[in-house]
Amino acid sequence: MNDMRLIRAKSGTNQEGTSAHNRRVMIDALRLNGQLSRAELARATALTKQTVSNIIEDLERDGLVESLQAVRNGRGQPSTPYRLVPEGAFAIGLQIDRHVTRTIAVDLVGRVLARGEANLPAGGPATGVRTILELIEKTRRDLTALAPHSEDRLVGLGAAMPGPFGVEADADDPWMMAAWQNFPLLETLAAGTGLDVGLQNDAAAAATAERMVGAAHGVDHAICIYFGYGLGAGLILNGELYRGANGNAGEIGMILSLPRGASSDERMPLEHRASIASLCKLLDLDPADPDLYARIDAVAESPDQRLLRWIDAAAFEMRAAVQALETIFDPQTVILCGGLPPGLARLLTDAMMPLLPSIADRRDRTLPRLQVGFTDPWAVAIGAAAEPISRTFDPRFSAILKTRAGAAV
């Protein structure tokens, strides 16, 4: 292997009692780089060769890592590269949206193996949760058919739904799923599936998908603007997803904005002007239409004046949002992603150029200030599935703190 190649990894620690953190560091390094030798792992993670060897042997025994054919470089001894075993772990992701629910199954490296989709029936969570549990069970059966031992290596269920969480809302407010917010969702899902369940908002899930298998892969500081029915941002800071005190970090759709030429009493939430919901209202489209994305893309192919006016207004708002996010968080890049069709994403990002001047406007940039990530209605479900993988295997400072209590990884 080339000793000079750039290897992306977090640092481990050679202090005693920190094996849980070091295991996560090694798994993360292999996920980021694909395959590495023991020597490369030691250099990249600042761990001793003996520590790396011990952890590699443990991970091999646990079925998480496998060795590949030895590679000879120059005159030295051949080195053996290691990589993650995709079948080493599996997870289920669940998206709950206003009109539809989606489930997806992924393996340890983020490959999608099974998926399912269903319309949510009327009646709120009392009836909808039955549909959700049936869909999860079907996805698990589909996963087992492809990977017979997957149930033994299923690390959890990740759920994602629109936020914000814990905020008082009118039951009829179309922007917030108040009935679902007040429903004991985590407890019901855990009891119905027997799995550990985590919950995040849809913007955070979209950012998790970008971090695991998308444009934010290997990027330590990125802001993922989720453009869906509403608007939000997933914050990747220091390589970890930042959720805030109540899981509501990045709810930029609730920022009160003021359009050009308006008076101060005409302020309204940003997502009322820049979101799929606002576009549907303008074009008289049904957000529950299963062909909504195709219909919007068809309009984007030959845009009419209504769409052009919406793009102009949305781009005006989004330029300001990007400039504010860059100023506050100093990211390496901002990624526009989530529930908007590819054609619309292209028109919107083109209209946002040139971006407003900001501290991100640097000559030494290696990534664009703004780029397009996943434009896929399944992006949130992918991110929801990635969350249990991340929760179980990604390096976190909390892994060190929990070591003496017996961390699992």
Looking up residue 152, the CATH number of its domain turns out to be 3.30.420.40
Q: Same domain for 220 and 357? A: yes
362 in any annotated domain: yes
**The pLDDT of residue 264:** 66
Residue with tokens 């990747």: 236
Q: Same domain for 323 and 262? A: yes
The helix (H) or strand (E) run that includes residue 91 is: strand 90-96
Q: What is the pLDDT of residues 355-409, one digit of tens each?
A: 999 999 999 999 999 999 999 889 899 999 999 998 898 876 444 444 333 333 4
**The pLDDT of residue 164:** 85
Q: Same domain for 133 and 219? A: no
Read off the pLDDT of each residue in 241-249 and give the average, rounded to a whole number: 91
**The pLDDT of residue 77:** 75
Q: Which three-class secondary structure string do you get for 17-86?
A: CCHHHHHHHHHHHHHHHCCEEHHHHHHHHCCCHHHHHHHHHHHHHCCCEEECCCECCCCCCCECEEEECH
Residue with tokens 């959700």: 132
399 in any annotated domain: no
Q: Same domain for 132 and 231? A: no
pLDDT exceeds cutoff 90 at 126: no
Q: Same domain for 233 and 153? A: no
6 in any annotated domain: no
pLDDT exceeds cutoff 90 at 233: yes
Do the beta carbons of residue 105 and residue 294 sit within 8 Å? no
Domain of 60 in residue numbering reads as 19-84
Q: Same domain for 273 and 173? A: no
- Taking residue 78's Cβ as centre, other Cβ atoms within 10 Å add up to 11
Do the beta carbons of residue 73 and residue 2 sit within 8 Å? yes
Q: Same domain for 211 and 167? A: no
Q: What is the pLDDT of residues 149-159, one digit of tens each?
A: 999 999 999 99
Q: Same domain for 97 and 74? A: no
406 in any annotated domain: no
Range of 19-28, 78-87, 186-195, 279-288 with top mean pLDDT? 186-195
Collapsing DSSP to helix, strand or coil, 159 comes out as strand
Give the count of domains, the chain: 3
388 in any annotated domain: yes
Q: Same domain for 132 and 229? A: no
b/e map 144-157, b = 16+ CB within 10 Å: beebeebeebbbbb
Instruction: Please tell me the pTM assigned to this model.
Output: 0.85
What is the rounded distance in angstroms from the CA atom of residue 194 to the CA atom of residue 151? 11
Q: Which residues pair with 103 in a beta bridge?
A: 94, 116
404 in any annotated domain: no
CATH of the domain at 57: 1.10.10.10
Could you say which DSSP state residue 121 is in? P
Q: Same domain for 178 and 224? A: no
10 in any annotated domain: no
| Res. 9 pLDDT band, cuts 50 70 90 | low
Q: Same domain for 216 and 161? A: no
Read off the pLDDT of each residue in 91-103 and give the average, rounded to a whole number: 94
Lowest mean pLDDT among 167-171, 240-244, 326-330: 167-171
4 in any annotated domain: no
Q: Same domain for 218 and 245? A: yes
What is the rounded distance in angstroms from the CA atom of residue 76 to the CA atom of residue 291? 59
Q: Average pLDDT of the chain?
A: 88
Lowest mean pLDDT among 128-137, 211-220, 396-405: 396-405
Q: Is the previous residue joined to 290 through a cis bond, with omega within 30 degrees of 0? A: no
